[in-house]
Each structure stands twice: as C-alpha cells, then as structure tokens.
Structure 1
C-alpha cells in the first residue's frame, strides 16, 4: 500500500527531475501526483522591484496553517521581525504537519497565502526582507 511518506518521496523526485505528473495504481486504488515544475522549492530572490527580498516557498503540498494550537499560536503578519529558522507556518496533509521556517532573519514584507488555503510545491507563502549584516 502506498503511504503518505511514499507519495511525498515520489513528489520530491518528480519535482527534482522536472517531471510534471505520475499515476500509481495499486489494485483498485489510483494515486495521481501532479507537480508544478516552474516553481522551485527553495527560497529565491524575488522578481519584484525590491531584489533584496526573498520568497519563502512551500516545500510540500497541503493546507496552509498560519495559526495552529500551541506549535504556532501567533500569526505572522507583514512588518513582523523574524529570526532565521523561526517557524512561520505549517502545511497540513492528513495527520502530517510540515514546518515552514524563515531561511534568514529579517522583516516579513507580505503574507502571500491565506490560512486554510491549499498550497502546492514551490508556492510562495511569504515575502521576506533579510536583515543586512
């Protein structure tokens, strides 16, 4: 039986190889995985006028949670200062919660997705202006 971790592993491999979709058939169960190949998973320089900002992107697919019980009690808002590695959001898929961490310390310029929104691989979730050192 294909497990959630199997599906995630397949999706990561597809994304890394630039393959857009695959279907896996097990008996009468069909799992279809579709990847948007144009958007990288890693944070990258923004294409906006402010080239010093980076887009914090989802590394998985699922339901975006900007607030979640005691793991993420306070919603991150534009103007908030964040530390490198700080938990910004969670992406929920079934019982699994994938963390979204700040790749650098800085200021949140924008929250690009809504709480409860379905997000995909590589989808920008936050715009972050890193602190200059």
Structure 2
C-alpha cells in the first residue's frame, strides 16, 4: 500500500506531465488518476443595429428589421498563455536534471541555498539536490563558471533533462 506522501508525489508527477490518465496497481490496491481537460466557454449575443437615415426618420417611414438571428452562440477557446521573452542562451551551459524527482536548492529546509544567480562554481561544486524515491542525489555544476539563472523552484518536481540552471562558462 502506498503512503500518503507517495500518492501526493504521484499526483504532482501526473499533474506536471503530458499524460492524461495514470493507473497503478500493486498488491490488490489500485490507484487511477485522470486529468480533466478544461476549456473556456464564451457566449456571444449579437446585437442587431437598424439604421434609419435622418430624412426617413422625419417622414416617419416604416423601419425594416433584419432577419432573426440565433441569440446565443458558443465559442470554445483555449486559455492563452504568453511565452516569456527569452534572452540569447546559446553561449550558456545548461545544468539539467539527470532524473525525474523533486528539486531542492539547499541541503535542508533551514540551510542556505547551494547557489544563486551570481555564484561562482567549479566543475565539482554541488548546485542542488534532486530527490527521487527517497534518495537524495547531489547535482554538480559540470563546468567552471558563474550561475546566471536558477530555472527551478525549491520543492518543484522536475523531469529528466529539464534545465535547472544556466551557467556562463569561464
């Protein structure tokens, strides 16, 4: 039987992944998770304008109306997300996650972070921890340089190959 924390981690992983449905069976227990696809429904009610020239209005001529229009029309629309403007990162080294897990910026909750933007690092400097299946894996910088940007947030679930840091190599 899975513990509550393990179920929470599974929920986070499924939520942040591209899969829509997940089923896990073990020792007579079954967990089924399914994402609900949300869409925004916008209703539009058309307005019919009838214009009468000033000359006709004075003469009290009959006003013609347009043909009846269906009053409500549904439009399905996906939520719009703006892509952030990104600087040129071609000359920067990306430190990526070697596994799926939880990103930790410090060795313990009450300790200072390993690195932040502006920190000088060497190849063997520890920059973070990625926890997977109760194993805490120290991630090294892989290159000498300066941390330009921290791309992951503390406690965030990260995917295999996801960039965690941008480093300006020396």
- Alignment TM class, shorter chain as reference: 0.5 to 0.7
The 5 Å alignment of 1:22-61 reads: 27-28=27-28, 49-61=88-100
Distance in 1 between residues matched to 2:97 and 2:161, nearest whole Å: 5
Assess if the C-alpha contact under 8 Å between 1:60 and 1:98 holds in 2.
no
Residue 118 of structure 1, CA deviation: 0.7
TM-score scaled by structure 1?
0.59
The correspondence for 2:125, drawn from 82, 86, 92, is: 86
Q: Which 4+ runs in 1 deviate beyond 3 A?
A: 23-31, 72-75
- When structure 1 is superposed on structure 2, of 79-88 and 93-102 the one drifting more is 93-102
Secondary structure of residue in 1 paired with 2:107: coil
Partner of 2:146: 107
* CA spacing shift, 1:50–1:62, aligned 2, 3 Å: closer
Structure 2, unaligned runs of 5 or more: 1-22, 32-85
Q: Which has the higher relative contact order, 1 or 2, with Cα contacts under 8 A spaced 6 or more apart?
A: 1
2:166 aligned with 1:127: yes
Structure 1, unaligned runs of 5 or more: 1-22, 32-46
TM-score scaled by structure 2?
0.47
The correspondence for 1:96, drawn from 135, 141, 146, is: 135
Structure showing greater Rg: 2
